[in-house]
C-alpha cells in the first residue's frame, strides 16, 4: 500500500500520488497515460483525474501497480474497477492488468478465441481476475514470451488446466511447461504464430495473432522517442541476436505492438516496417 509520507515531489497536488517505492515499470503510464507520466526514475501523477472515466483508469493503474506505489485518499470505486480486468483493447484482445513484482511489473494479455483462450505472460495471482477469466471461458494456453515474465503462470495454469508454452532455451524458468518450443523457426498453431526472437534472452519468443504482435521485451513503443524501440541496455543475452530477431519481424504483418514493458502502439503495417528498418539502420544492421 502506498505511503503518503513517501509521496514523491513530482506528483501534482491532489488525491492520487506515486510514492518512493515505484520501480518505474511503466504499467501506470500505459494504463492511464493522461494521469501518470514519467518522472526521474519513477512515475508521477501529472494530472489528477476529474471525469469518471479518468478516475476509473487511475484506479485500474493503482490496482495494476506491482509494488503498490500508487495511493489515493479515497478507495471508493476499487471494488467495481477490479471487475474491468481483463480490460478490452480491441477485437477479442485484452490487458490482464494486475502486474506482478516477480516479472518487474510486465504487462500480460488475454485473447478470447473460439478454440480456447490464451494468456500471454502472467499477471499476479488474484482471485478476482481468476473469476473474471473464468467467466470469459478460462484458458487453454499460457504463452510465456521469456523467462523473466513467468510470474504466477502456474496459479492460472492449474486453475484452468491450461497448457504452458515456453521456449526450451528459457524453460528453466518453467520446467513443467507442457509445450517447449525448440529452434528458431516460426510455429503455427491455428490462428497463432509463435516466432522465436532470441536476443533479450536466449529463448525469447513473440506471438502473432491477427494484427497483434505480443512482443514481451523484444520491441516496444517509446513515447519519449516517438518510435518503436529496443534497448541494448536491457538485452541480457545477445544484442546482435536481438537485432537479427527484430529484422525477421519484417516478414510478418501486424499493426499492434503489445509489449511486456514499454508502451503499446497501433499504427499501419507500412509505418511499423518503416520504423523497424530505421531502428536497424541506427545500429548499422
Ligand atoms: S505501476 Fe507502480 S511501479 Fe510501475 S511505474 Fe507506475 S507507480 Fe511505478
Q: How far apart are CA 123 and CA 87, in angstroms?
A: 13
Q: How confident is the model at residue 46 (pLDDT cuts 50, 70, 90)?
A: very high
Q: Whose CA is nearest to atom 2 of ligand 1?
A: 65
Q: What is the pLDDT of residue 77?
A: 82
For residue 237, how many C-alpha atoms fall within 13 Å in the half-sphere facing its CB? 20
Å from CA of 92 to ligand 1 middle? 26
- Domain ranges within the chain, ordered by starting residue: 4-73, 82-282
Q: How far apart are CA 256 and CA 56, in angstroms?
A: 24
Which architecture characterizes domain 4-73 according to CATH? 2-Layer Sandwich (3.30)
* Residue among 67, 102, 124, 263 to mutate when testing ligand 1 (max atoms within 8 A of CB): 67
Q: Is the pLDDT reported for residue 1 higher than 90?
A: no
Pick the CATH number of 82-282 from 3.30.70.1560, 3.60.15.10, 3.90.850.10, 3.40.30.10: 3.60.15.10
Task: Summarize the confidence of residues 123-138 as an average pLDDT.
Answer: 98
Q: What is the pLDDT of residue 74?
A: 76
Q: How far apart are CA 166 and CA 192, in angstroms?
A: 14
Q: Classify 188 as helix, strand or coil.
A: strand
pLDDT tens digits, one per residue of 220-229: 999 999 999 9
Beta strands in the chain (DSSP E): 17-18, 36-38, 43-45, 70-71, 87-90, 93-95, 109-111, 118-120, 141-143, 163-167, 179-181, 187-189, 192-196, 205-209, 212-216, 220-222, 227-229, 256-259, 265-266
Q: How confident is the model at residue 78 (pLDDT cuts 50, 70, 90)?
A: confident
Give the sign of the dihedral formed by CA 229, CA 255, CA 178, CA 205: negative
Share of the chain above pLDDT 70, in %: 100
Q: What is the ipTM of this complex?
A: 0.99
Q: Whose CA is nearest to atom 4 of ligand 1?
A: 25
Task: Summarize the confidence of residues 182-199 as an average pLDDT.
Answer: 98
Task: Summarize the confidence of residues 95-105 as an average pLDDT.
Answer: 97
Q: How confident is the model at residue 178 (pLDDT cuts 50, 70, 90)?
A: very high
Residues with CB under 6 A from ligand 1: 18, 22-28, 36, 42-43, 65-67, 69-70, 105
Task: Summarize the confidence of residues 150-170 as an average pLDDT.
Answer: 98
Q: How confident is the model at residue 75 (pLDDT cuts 50, 70, 90)?
A: confident
Q: What is the pLDDT of residue 39?
A: 87
**Rounded to 5 degrees, what are φ and ψ at 69?**
-90, -5
Å from CA of 165 to ligand 1 middle? 28
Measuring CA to CA, which residue among 28, 25, 34, 2 is closest to residue 15?
Answer: 2
- 68 Cα nearest atom in ligand 1: 2
Task: Summarize the confidence of residues 14-42 as an average pLDDT.
Answer: 95
Q: Is the pLDDT reported for residue 252 higher than 80?
A: yes
Mean pLDDT for the chain overall: 96
Distance of CA 63 to the CA centre of its chain: 15
* Grid coordinates given for 138: 478460462
Amino acid at each position: 500500500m502506498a505511503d503518503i509520507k513517501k509521496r514523491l515531489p513530482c506528483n501534482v497536488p491532489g488525491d492520487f500520488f506515486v510514492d518512493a517505492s515505484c520501480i518505474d515499470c511503466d504499467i501506470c503510464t500505459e494504463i492511464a497515460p493522461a494521469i501518470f507520466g514519467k518522472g526521474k526514475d519513477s512515475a508521477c501523477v501529472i494530472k489528477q483525474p476529474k471525469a469518471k472515466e479518468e478516475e476509473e483508469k487511475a484506479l485500474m493503474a493503482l490496482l495494476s501497480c506491482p509494488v503498490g506505489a500508487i495511493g489515493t485518499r479515497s478507495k471508493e470505486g476499487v471494488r467495481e474497477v477490479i471487475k474491468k480486468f481483463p480490460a478490452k483493447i480491441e477485437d477479442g484482445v485484452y490487458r490482464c492488468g494486475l502486474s506482478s513484482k516477480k516479472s518487474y511489473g510486465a504487462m500480460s494479455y488475454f485473447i478470447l478465441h473460439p478454440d480456447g483462450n490464451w494468456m500471454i505472460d502472467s499477471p499476479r495471482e488474484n482471485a478476482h481476475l481468476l473469476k473474471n477469466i473464468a467467466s470469459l471461458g478460462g484458458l487453454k494456453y499460457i504463452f510465456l514470451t521469456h523467462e523473466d515474465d513467468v510470474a504466477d503462470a502456474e496459479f492460472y495454469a492449474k486453475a484452468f488446466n491450461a497448457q504452458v508454452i515456453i521456449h526450451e532455451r528459457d524453460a528453466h524458468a518453467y520446467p513443467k511447461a507442457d509445450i517447449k518450443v525448440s529452434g528458431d523457426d516460426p510455429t503455427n498453431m491455428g490462428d497463432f504464430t509463435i516466432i522465436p526472437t532470441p536476443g533479450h534472452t536466449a529463448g525469447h519468443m513473440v506471438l502473432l495473432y491477427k494484427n497483434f504482435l505480443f512482443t514481451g521485451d523484444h520491441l516496444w513503443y517509446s513515447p519519449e522517442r516517438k518510435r518503436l524501440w529496443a534497448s541494448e541496455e536491457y538485452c541480457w543475452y545477445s544484442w546482435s541476436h536481438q537485432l537479427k530477431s527484430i529484422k525477421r519481424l519484417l516478414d510478418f504483418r501486424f499493426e499492434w505492438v503489445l509489449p511486456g514493458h514499454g508502451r503499446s502502439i497501433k499504427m499501419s503495417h507500412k509505418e511499423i516496417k518503416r520504423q523497424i528498418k530505421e531502428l536497424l539502420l541506427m545500429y548499422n544492421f
